[in-house]
Structure 1
């Protein structure tokens, strides 16, 4: 067996190769790309001999993505994606002073996969379809988060010089394309007062708003309400900043819509899509996010509990002496946790079993979030069973342990 620690950077990798006793066989700095991966193969062949099989090479690296990792997996090596937090704690046994070097990090990673690989998670063997869903689903969610941040900046800017716009466009939502177009057309209070009703109606009609006459009249009325003014040069400067944020939001809206279509296309072609969509509270976008973060490697989760632990829905027990507490799991995949919380919330509306489970938790004096997390935890277990048996969700079977369903179900 050969054990490899790979400390990666943007353009190079520092690697160390050890044997089963921990003896350092060789080190190298390899450039990212085809030439670098070829030199790594040659380095392993030189120290492993002609009889070395690919599965006898164990690699520890602090990432699970990228062409380099894919090349390692394609070669047949055992690849472990080490959590940087785990690696940092492991390195403390070498130097409590906090000293750090790339070669030292590679040495620590090689030691980790040699000594503690039973405690580490190998890189999942997800299919190409699942990897494609993961790329577009994460990109889509990242753009939505970026839109929220940009909107908050725009909102703060408007509050400082044009708070009337927040009131006037509240009925449209300021992140909507028509509200942003109106703001770009009239970014100052003086310009907004000159907007005519036909101009407002034309923008609303272009975006197929209903009750356009009433909405336009209400917007015009709010824009013409008296408000505290700032100096003209200052208002012009604020208007330039607000216009920039608004144009950025318009571009984000366009790209989010385009990526949403890509997410749906990739997700619906995946063989597990039917099972995910049969679950309560899951639509195409949430289903794509859950599939992307769980992956589709059938051997990745040994049990429903393992899947729940990875999802972060199961609690953490802390016991020491006479102290015994059960707490929420906050070290988790935040993208997956967000998607599962959305699923649990929506499931309350269309799953009698989920609703009954939630009400039961609330009757125990649990707050909203813990009760919803319990519902999500149960739904993750149900999803694991459906994927393992390749069957769609069944309401009666899923919640049979909670008693007989009402006749309306």
Structure 2
């Protein structure tokens, strides 16, 4: 029997490979290493069982890594199967729910044999998008790490130096992650050290952080805050907390430096991509949000057959559960979380900068929707308009996006 599909159960140091025929029988089962020799052996196995036209497709539970990159470079079609879906397929073959690496590879191969049409291969994205994907995801991860470290700094300051929180976040325009705050906290990490800073020394630190205006007034304001009466920890405990604070500030400095470098590279990569001009024409999408969307959507315009598919991918389309007389509509949980995180910011930016989107938002509020609900419903229609622009190669046109409803007799045929 001719082989029809291949499954790979991947791990950190090795991978199990299974090739099945059209009846589901395993014709080849082998374990390979996670190295160049292992990849070469895998390609040999695929050639042995598919010597002619490279129709032997591969199923694996991840879309990343050198193994996947090597398969795609060799021209193989790769299907990244969701691990949750794979766990459901296992019950077809073993009611005991037994599991092994060899068995997992066989299950993956049979998923393609029986239900190939229910799954989609990895999109054929260009190298430009793959580069942008690495940069954008690293930038988004760094932003999340920045929020985490900032929250830890805030919690630590409230435990022994609440005056710093009041000085930077309540009394002024600075935030704890700002360059001015990081520079001053690195120089004076305890209440005693902060109280010893003169206005002149504070002005020097503000200039070092890059502040250009109102330096003397800001230095005087901070000087007053640091000299206000406040509670103290024991001196030894306070010094230990200061050491912990300096460590967190150094981590935050490194994250902020990495973000500055990543943002510069992302701007250049996004503006150089052909789809960047189209995405930037949509209201609410600048370079930052547009690059994230392009990263997750990709530039393979055949990936999503219609706008509704992109809406589901972004988590904008709700899910309906209907059984008998009961119907329940709820938010979509299975989605691309990185793209969904852009939705609220995108809708809010469109409302603030485009009169047509603002009018739609006002109409939703007038109909009784709350702020978040109105933005969510707006986001539900946004991916469809973006999908149309990307598939047709046209810039966003407000007259087409908000085309008035025609009478039934004048409406064009579907």
Q: TM-score range by the shorter chain?
A: over 0.9
For the residue of structure 1 that corresponds to 2:280, the secondary structure is helix
What is the aligned partner in structure 2 of residue 375 from structure 1?
378
What is the aligned partner in structure 2 of residue 214 from structure 1?
217
How far 1:341 moved relative to its partner?
Answer: 2.1
What is the aligned partner in structure 2 of residue 184 from structure 1?
186
Change over 3 Å in CA distance of 1:97–1:162 after alignment to 2: farther
How far 1:397 moved relative to its partner?
Answer: 1.7
Cα displacement string for residues 140-179 of structure 1 (whole angstroms, at most 9, x for unaligned residues): 1111111111111111111111111101122211101111
Cα displacement string for residues 236-259 of structure 1 (whole angstroms, at most 9, x for unaligned residues): 111111110011111111111011
Query: Quick check: 1:23 aligned with 2:21?
Result: no
Query: Quick check: 1:169 aligned with 2:168?
Result: yes
- Quote the Cα distance in structure 2 between the aligned partners of 1:280 and 1:190: 50
Cα displacement string for residues 310-365 of structure 1 (whole angstroms, at most 9, x for unaligned residues): 11111111111111121111221111111232111100011122112222222332
How far 1:77 moved relative to its partner?
Answer: 2.3
How far 1:369 moved relative to its partner?
Answer: 2.3
What is the aligned partner in structure 2 of residue 318 from structure 1?
321
- Quote the Cα distance in structure 2 between the aligned partners of 1:76 and 1:58: 10
For the residue of structure 1 that corresponds to 2:92, the secondary structure is coil
For the residue of structure 1 that corresponds to 2:395, the secondary structure is coil
What is the aligned partner in structure 2 of residue 300 from structure 1?
303
Say whether the 8 Å CA contact 2:8–2:16 is kept in structure 1: yes
- Quote the Cα distance in structure 1 between the aligned partners of 2:38 and 2:349: 48
What is the aligned partner in structure 2 of residue 399 from structure 1?
402
Question: 1:60-79, aligned counterparts within 5 Å?
Answer: 60-79=59-78
Question: 1:125-136, aligned counterparts within 5 Å?
Answer: 125-136=124-135
What is the aligned partner in structure 2 of residue 196 from structure 1?
198
What is the aligned partner in structure 2 of residue 406 from structure 1?
none
What is the aligned partner in structure 1 of residue 53 from structure 2?
53
How far 1:221 moved relative to its partner?
Answer: 0.9
Change over 3 Å in CA distance of 1:97–1:211 after alignment to 2: farther
Structure 1: stretches of 5+ with no match in the other structure: 404-409
- Quote the Cα distance in structure 1 between the aligned partners of 2:19 and 2:300: 28
Query: Quick check: 1:270 aligned with 2:273?
Result: yes
Q: TM-score, with normalisation over the residues of structure 1?
A: 0.94
Say whether the 8 Å CA contact 1:133–1:263 is kept in structure 2: yes
Cα displacement string for residues 268-311 of structure 1 (whole angstroms, at most 9, x for unaligned residues): 11111100111111111111100000011011010111111111
Say whether the 8 Å CA contact 1:357–1:402 is kept in structure 2: no
For the residue of structure 1 that corresponds to 2:274, the secondary structure is coil
- Quote the Cα distance in structure 2 between the aligned partners of 1:401 and 1:237: 66
- Quote the Cα distance in structure 1 between the aligned partners of 2:363 and 2:334: 27
Q: Please identify, of 206-215 and 320-329, the stretch whose mean Cα deviation from structure 2 is larger.
A: 206-215
What is the aligned partner in structure 1 of residue 108 from structure 2?
109
Say whether the 8 Å CA contact 2:308–2:384 is kept in structure 1: yes
How far 1:75 moved relative to its partner?
Answer: 2.5
What is the aligned partner in structure 1 of residue 359 from structure 2?
356
Q: Please identify, of 123-132 and 369-378, the stretch whose mean Cα deviation from structure 2 is larger.
A: 369-378
What is the aligned partner in structure 2 of residue 241 from structure 1?
244
For the residue of structure 1 that corresponds to 2:200, the secondary structure is helix
What is the aligned partner in structure 2 of residue 155 from structure 1?
154
- Quote the Cα distance in structure 2 between the aligned partners of 1:20 and 1:94: 16
Q: Please identify, of 130-139 and 81-90, the stretch whose mean Cα deviation from structure 2 is larger.
A: 81-90
How far 1:96 moved relative to its partner?
Answer: 4.7
What is the aligned partner in structure 1 of residue 39 from structure 2?
37
Say whether the 8 Å CA contact 1:4–1:57 is kept in structure 2: yes
- Quote the Cα distance in structure 1 between the aligned partners of 2:180 and 2:98: 55
Say whether the 8 Å CA contact 1:290–1:340 is kept in structure 2: no
> RMSD of aligned C-alpha atoms?
1.5
Change over 3 Å in CA distance of 1:315–1:289 after alignment to 2: same
For the residue of structure 2 that corresponds to 1:307, the secondary structure is helix
How far 1:98 moved relative to its partner?
Answer: 4.2
What is the aligned partner in structure 2 of residue 288 from structure 1?
291
Q: Please identify, of 165-174 and 355-364, the stretch whose mean Cα deviation from structure 2 is larger.
A: 355-364
Structure 2: stretches of 5+ with no match in the other structure: 407-414
For the residue of structure 2 that corresponds to 1:342, the secondary structure is helix
- Quote the Cα distance in structure 1 between the aligned partners of 2:392 and 2:298: 16
- Quote the Cα distance in structure 2 between the aligned partners of 1:292 and 1:393: 19
| Aligned length in residues | 400
For the residue of structure 2 that corresponds to 1:400, the secondary structure is coil
